[in-house]
Chains A and B, each alone.
Chain A
Amino acid sequence: MPTENLIDIKGVRHAYRTKAGPLPVLDGLDISVPQGEFCAVVGPSGCGKSTLTRLVAGLMMPDEGEVWLHGERVKSPRNTVGMAFQNPVMLEWRTILENVILPLEIVAPRMSRAQRVDRAMALLELVGLKGFEAKRPSQLSGGMRQRASLCRAIVHKPDVLIMDEPFGALDNFTREDLWQTMRDLRAKEPFTCVLITHDLRESVFLGDQVVVLSGRPARTQHILNVDLPADRTLESLYTQQAQDMLHLLRDQIRIAQGRDGGAH
C-alpha cells in the first residue's frame, strides 16, 4: 500500500511483557511524516517515546498496527535509517573521524577510503568540528560529541533520521547552538526526521509538525502544524505566534499528564 508519506505509523499498539503482566506502552499511535519533513514528538516522560524510535528503526515490531517507510512495511532494520541518542555513543577507541565513518563501513563496504574521509570531513566542517577529526571522543566536550554523533547519524545519507532526546543532556546554551546546527544541516542535507524530545521550545524551533503523545499507554493526542518560516532563528521563538503554539503545547502536555482540571 504505497503512500505519499515517507513515514506512516498506523494504529500501533505495543505492550512489554513484565513479571506483573503486560505493560501497554503504545495504544493507538498514528503519525504521518511527508518526505523531507521534521516531526517532533513530545509527551510526558515514560510514555513510550523511545519505543516509537525503535519501531521506526525496525529494531522491534509492534504487537498491532503498521509502520511504513517509503511505502514498505518495516519488519527489520534497514540501512536507510540514521539514529542519534541522548548518549552520543562515541566509540572511545576511534578518533572522531573514524567514529563518523563507522556507518559507511557497514552500508557502503565498496566505498573507497578517500571518499569516506571526504564525506565525513564535509559533515564535520558543517557542524563546526573541523580540526577536531583526529581527536578522541574523550578529548571533546559533551556538545561536540553530540555534534559528531549527528554527523555519524547522517553520514550514509539516510532517508530518515531518528533522534531520541539528542540534546537532553546538554546545557541550555549548547542546546540552542545545536538547534541551529540542526537547522543548517537540514538546509544542506535534506532528510526526513523524527525527533523525540521533552523540550517544547525545541519542538517548535525544529519541527514542521509537533505530535503530542498522551501519557502511557501513549496514543496520538494532538498534532500541531508549526507554520513558522523554515529559516527560523532563536528570535522566532519569542514572536506571539510561537508563544501561542508553546502555550497550546503546554496545555496539551498538562492534559497528557492527566492534570487538565484547571491547575494553572
Chain B
Amino acid sequence: METLQKIAVPLLAMVIFLFLWEGLVWVNDWPNYKMASPSDLPPAFWKFRWMFLEMGWQTLWRTVVGLGLAVLFGTFLGMVMGFSRVARDGLYPLLVGFNAIPKATLVPVIALIFIGQHDFNTVLMAFLISFFPIAVSVGIGLSTLEPEYRDILRSLGASRLTIFRKIALPKTLPEFFGALKVSVTLAFIGTNLVEIVSPHGRGLGALFKSGETNGDYPLMFAVLIALAVLGIVLYYAVLVLERIFAGWAERPQS
C-alpha cells in the first residue's frame, strides 16, 4: 500500500501536470512555435530517437565526469579548509568571488583557451560550476567537528589519518551528500551551458540549438523534457548513494 502510494502519487501529479499544460495550449489555441503541447512531444521524440539517445549519452557522461572531478577536488579543498584555519581564511574570499562569476561568461573564455577541446571544455565547466558547494560543506563539516569526537580517539594515541577515517569522514557524509544534491543539478547546468552557448554538435544542448535553428519547436520542448528526465535520474542516483552511505543520519520515524 505504502509503496503503491509512493509510486502512484508522483505519477498522478505528473499526469495532472501534462493535462493542465495540454489544456492551457488548447484553450489559448497557441501555435506550436509559441508553445508546444505535450501531444506534440512523442512524435518529436520518435523522429529523433537515435539523436536523443546519442546526445543524451553525451550530456550524461560529461556531466558525471565533471561531477566526479568536483567531488574529488571539492572534498580535497574542503579537507584543507576544514583542517587549517590559515587555508580557510585565505581561500574563502577567492572561492566566494569565483563562485559569484556567472558561469555563462566563462564559456567563451574557456572555449578560447582550449580551442576545439569540446569534451574537455564541457567537463571543465560542469566541474567548475559544481565543486563549490562540496568544498564549502566538507570544510564546514570538518571544522565544526566537536573536539570531544577527536579526543576520544586522540587520547588513545590514534594518528590524524585514523581520526579522519574513523570519525571526521563519516561524520561529514550527511553534509557532503546534501551538497552533492545541489552539485549534481549544477553540473548538469554547466554541461548544457557549454552545449548551448558554444555548440559543437554534441549533447542535448546542441540538439536544442538545432531545433531552434530549424524552427522545430516541438523538438526544443522535447529536449527540455529529456533534460528534466536526465536531471531526475542523476538526482535520484545521488539519493540512492546517500541512503547507502549516510542512511544512518535519517532519524527513525516515530
List 12 A–B pairs whose Cβ atoms lie within 8 Å, in order of A's numbering: A79-B156, A81-B155, A87-B148, A89-B148, A91-B170, A92-B248, A93-B170, A93-B249, A106-B157, A106-B158, A138-B252, A156-B156
**Smallest beta-carbon distance B254→chain A, Å:** 10
Q: Could you give, for residues 78-92 of chain A, a 1 whenever the CB lies within 8 Å of some chain B CB and a 0 otherwise?
A: 110111010101011
Q: Could you give, for residues 147-185 of chain B, a 1 whenever the CB lies within 8 Å of some chain A CB and a 0 otherwise?
A: 011011111111000100011001101000000000000
Kindly list chain B residues whose C-beta atoms are within 8 Å of the C-beta of A78: 157
6 tightest A-B contacts by CB?
A: A93-B248, A57-B155, A89-B148, A106-B156, A77-B157, A79-B156
Asked if B2 lies at the interface with its beta carbon under 8 angstroms from chain A, I say no
- Beta-carbon nearest neighbor of B150 in chain A: A59
Interface residue ranges of A145-170 to B (CB < 8 Å) = 152, 156, 162
Asked if B146 lies at the interface with its beta carbon under 8 angstroms from chain A, I say yes
- Beta-carbon nearest neighbor of A83 in chain B: B155
Contact, CB under 8 Å: A87 / B146: yes
Asked if A125 lies at the interface with its beta carbon under 8 angstroms from chain B, I say no
- Residues of chain A touching chain B, judged by Cβ–Cβ distance below 8 Å, are 54, 57-59, 76-79, 81-83, 85, 87, 89, 91-93, 102-103, 105-107, 136, 138-139, 152, 156, 162
- Beta-carbon nearest neighbor of B162 in chain A: A106
Asked if B251 lies at the interface with its beta carbon under 8 angstroms from chain A, I say yes
Instruction: Determine the distance from Cα of A105 to Cα of B153 in the docked complex, in whole angstroms.
Output: 10
Kindly list chain A residues whose C-beta atoms are within 8 Å of the C-beta of B170: 91, 93
Instruction: Determine the distance from Cα of A254 to Cα of B115 in the docked complex, in whole angstroms.
Output: 78
Contact, CB under 8 Å: A83 / B152: yes
Contact, CB under 8 Å: A57 / B171: no
Interface residue ranges of B77-115 to A (CB < 8 Å) = none
Contact, CB under 8 Å: B252 / A139: yes
**Smallest beta-carbon distance B229→chain A, Å:** 33
Kindly list chain A residues whose C-beta atoms are within 8 Å of the C-beta of B157: 76-79, 106
